[in-house]
Structure 1
Amino acid sequence: METERQTSERAGRRAGKRAYVALAVFVAILLGLYFAQPADFARWMTALHVIAVISWMAGLLYMPRLFIYHSDAAPGSEQSETFKVMEQRLLKVIMNPAMMITWVLGLYLAWDVFGFQGGWLHAKITLVVVLTVVHVHFSRAVRSFAAEGPRKSARYWRMMNEAPTLLMIAIVILVIVKPF
């Protein structure tokens, strides 16, 4: 019996269903906490926010690595087609939902816990906006690779691989140290 390729349409549908189930469970937990309103509700929201951030960052750190290898694959080759599937699934199944949850919970925490006060918070939000711009740039690259459009070099993607890391370092320092 031949095993199904992970790049097949059927495998993609299964991956999509699993992602939607996971997202639904996450939202159900969020709603359950919201209606239960435990005394430590803000801590729960912070924990869920951190989980979403970790998921988003995993995608932002992995996507440029895929682009590096995809840049070296011949357009239309089996390898190129495999990278297209991987990039699409990473973007749609992990990165986009994680980014949206990060933003929703982050803005809630900024409003409820911090009252949008503090220079560190404004700087953090600004850097998260820049991180979102990087995300959008990666999304456009996914579409460009899928359409066999113009490609940036592997060297370019190696340099872009550092952007999410540098932004993450600055954001974590702002959140933990609160320097101003």
Structure 2
Amino acid sequence: MLMLWLKAFHIIFMVCWFAGIFYLPRLFVNHAMVEDTAIRAQLLLMERKLYRFITPFMFLTIGFGIALASLNWAYYSGAIWFHIKVSLVALLVIYHFYCGRCIRLLESDPESRSHVFYRVFNELPVLILFAAVLLAVLKPGA
């Protein structure tokens, strides 16, 4: 029963984290496109608040994932699919912190990157999500 509760919370916090990680770069796209300083200031405020809001979800997702894995570490430590999934989560954590860097970059130099860069950047977590979910559900090689 404990495992089901841990899994439920892991999924809930992962969904919350991804909701923010999908929306934040969309704000970057808008920020890079607009020229009005008042609108840029409003977007920057939204970006900062969203980033601060979703960061705890990242830590909770990871924490509940570690708790889940610790319940059956003998299995997970030898499962190749699990190591790949953990690597994808590590990439997503890097992506998350890079979003924080993008906020600071947009604050200091809003025209340093084009909206096209942020549109492409926005697609990366989608690929990670697809791969991580497929690995967790299909468990290839298990």
Question: Common fold, TM-score beyond 0.5?
Answer: yes
1:42–1:113 Cα contact (<8 Å) kept? no
Q: Which runs of 5+ in 2 are unaligned?
A: none
2:131 to 170, 173, 180: 170
1:124 is the counterpart of 2:85: yes
1:100 to 59, 63, 85: 59
1:144 is the counterpart of 2:122: no
1:157 is the counterpart of 2:87: no
Q: Which residue is 2:71 aligned to?
A: 112
Alpha-carbon distance in 2 for matches of 1:44, 1:142 = 35
Shift of 1:150: 5.6
1:144–1:150 Cα contact (<8 Å) kept? no
Q: Which residue is 1:41 aligned to?
A: 2
Q: Which residue is 1:88 aligned to?
A: 48
Secondary structure of the 2:112 match is: coil
Q: Which residue is 2:39 aligned to?
A: 79
Shift of 1:110: 1.5
Q: Which residue is 1:16 aligned to?
A: none
Secondary structure of the 1:141 match is: helix
Shift of 1:62: 0.5
Shift of 1:100: 0.5
Shift of 1:151: 2.5
Shift of 1:72: 1.1
Q: Which has the higher helix share?
A: 2
Structure of higher CA gyration radius: 1
TM-score (norm: length of structure 2): 0.92
Over aligned residue pairs, what C-alpha RMSD do you find? 1.4
Shift of 1:114: 4.3
1:110–1:121 Cα contact (<8 Å) kept? no
1:42–1:109 Cα contact (<8 Å) kept? yes
Report the number of matched residues.
139
1:66 to 10, 27, 43: 27
